[in-house]
Every structure is written in C-alpha cells, then in structure tokens.
Structure 1
Amino acid sequence: MLELAVRQDEGAVKAETVAAAQVIPHKFLEGILGDLRRGGIVDSRRGGNGGYRLARPAAEITVADVVRAVDGPIVSVRGERPTGLAYTGPAEPLLPLWVALRANVRKVLEGVTFADLATGELPEPVRGLAAEPAAWENP
C-alpha cells in the first residue's frame, strides 16, 4: 500500500515492482492485491501500461480500511466480533474489555491514513502513544 501511495501520481504500478521494492514474494503479493481490489482499496489494469493504483486518494484510505479488506474484522475473539460474544458469571467483565480493546485499536487504525504514512507524518495521538516508554517494552 505504501509503495502505491508514494507512487500515486505515477499511475499504475506493476505488482512485480512492488514485490521487488518490498522484498515480498510475487504470488503472496498478488493474493493481497486481490483482497485489496475486492475491498475497493486498489484498482487494477491489464496490459503493457497496467498494474495497480489506489482506488482513491491516499488521504482517504486508512490503515483500518486495509486491515479489514485483507484480514476482516480488526479485533476478534475466537474468530468472532466482540459484540457477538456473551459471557456469564465471573467472566461477564470480559465483554466490555474486548469491546474497549476493539474501540482503541479502531481509533488508532482509523486515525492513520496512507498519506500520513507516505509522508512520515503520523497524527499526534499516535505519536504520543508511541512516545510512551512502556509502549516499547515487552513485559
């Protein structure tokens, strides 16, 4: 996605170019690009001038959009969305915990566009979270 974002004004980019630039196996990348095309994130063209390009400006595509297109729901528990879960007894507090986790992950991923990443200018809330020393620790 970042290769396409930084080359947005160049037109379509061949999958081979992206694969080589990011050291990703071409077949693996084609699968991801297919998911992104079906998700309306990228467009593709065939032919000599063909390749892939962003379906809309990088400033309108969030990291959350891409995660959803490739992996589905951003946060799941046992393969289900948190809102589809039910707990009883002492486990009841788990549901609001999973919902809060999902809300925070969504807040970060929906707040960062590919234009932000392409320019290296992450939004302040994300920079602030990343600046916390505890964020870099592996407990």
Structure 2
Amino acid sequence: MDVSARADYAVRALLVLAEDAEDGPVHPAEQLARRAGVPAKFLEAILADLRRAGFVTSQRGSGGGYRLARDPADIPLGAVLRAVDGPLAEVRGIRPHETSYSGAAEHLATVWVAARAALREVLDETTLADVLRGELPEHVRAMAAAPDAWRGR
C-alpha cells in the first residue's frame, strides 16, 4: 500500500480540525496548513475535495475558513482516502474484483480482493476520533503489534 501525499495531508488536516471540533473554530487554510505541517497551496485543492465529500464546511470572508462537517467518530480514514485518491486498491487501474486471469495466475484475483479487504479492515474501521485519542480498534493494534509488522519488505 502506498499512501499518497494527498491522502496523508488530508488526514493530517482533518485531525487538526477534529482536535478543535468541540469548540468549532473556523480555521483559515493557511493556519490549518501550518498546524498540520502540510504545504498550503497543496492543501487548498485537498480541502476542496474534502468539502465536496462532506467532511468539511467552508466559510468565506475575513473570519472564514474550514471546520469539520461531521463528528470525528463518523469519519473513517478509508472514506477520506477515497475522497482524495479514489478507490483504496486497484490493479492496473481496475478494481480487484474486476480482474480476471487464466493459466498460472488464475487465482491471483482472489489475492488482490483479499488485499483490498485487509486495507478496508483497517482504514474503514478506524476513525479520525480513534487516531486523535490514540484508541485504535483492537484488531488494528494487534496487526501493528505483530512481530513482523514493521519488517521492511
């Protein structure tokens, strides 16, 4: 899995907004970029995608900026990645379940579908609130704690 810069920046910006969600301040894009540690120009386009997906709202004017449109517990990471990058997993530009092989690779499509399912198991079941609190789902913590989870391959 390769998490794009867009996806990483989107999640980091949303985490800043989630951190302040209770008092609901509006964050100008430049301030949000600075707090999230992401390039401001790059973040502008990402925020437009997040607004279209219904994760943030924007307010124009001198006091304008962005805020979360939903509770952080209702925003799974997988949905954020899809909003900025499209499907979680593709093979040659098509979805894993649409692949078809013959001969020696006949069962490869099943592997690609399983890989997508593993991504979904982590990303669709982990929310912004989980990450912010550091209270990740048990199965995610177990996967990350596995002895070979950090092995560089």
Structure-1-length-normalised TM-score: 0.95
When you count helix as a share of all residues, which structure comes out higher? 1
Separation in structure 1 between the aligned mates of residue 106 and residue 68 of structure 2, nearest angstrom: 43
Do residues 37 (structure 1) and 51 (structure 2) align? yes
Mapped partners of 1:104, 1:94: distance in 2 = 16
Instruction: Give the AA of the match of 2:22.
Output: D
Runs of 4+ deviating beyond 6 Å: none
| Post-superposition CA distance 1:69-105 (Å, at most 9, x none) | 0000001111111122111121111100000100111
User: Aligned-pair distance for 1:123?
Assistant: 1.1
CA deviation string 1:30-86 (max 9, x = no partner): 111111111111111111222111111000000001000000000111111112211
Letter in 2 for 1:132: A
Identity of aligned residues (%): 52
Give ranges in structure 1 of 5+ residues lacking alignment: none
Q: 1:122 aligns with which of 136, 140, 144?
A: 136
Cα separation, 1, equivalents of 2:141 and 2:16:
22
Counterpart AA for 2:84: V
Matches within 5 A, 1:103-122: 103-122=117-136
Alignment of 1:1-139 (within 5 A): 1-11=14-24, 12-139=26-153
Task: Please tell me the root mean square deviation across aligned C-alpha atoms, in Å.
Answer: 1.1
Structure 1 stretch 8-17 or stretch 54-63: which is displaced more? 8-17
Distance 1:113 1:126 in 2: 12
TM-score (norm 2): 0.87
What is the aligned residue count? 139
What are the superposed Cα offsets for residues 95-139 of structure 1, whole Å, 9 maximum, x if unpaired?
000001001110110110001111111111111111112001113
One-letter amino acid of the counterpart of residue 41, structure 2: K
Unaligned 5+ segments in structure 2 are 1-13
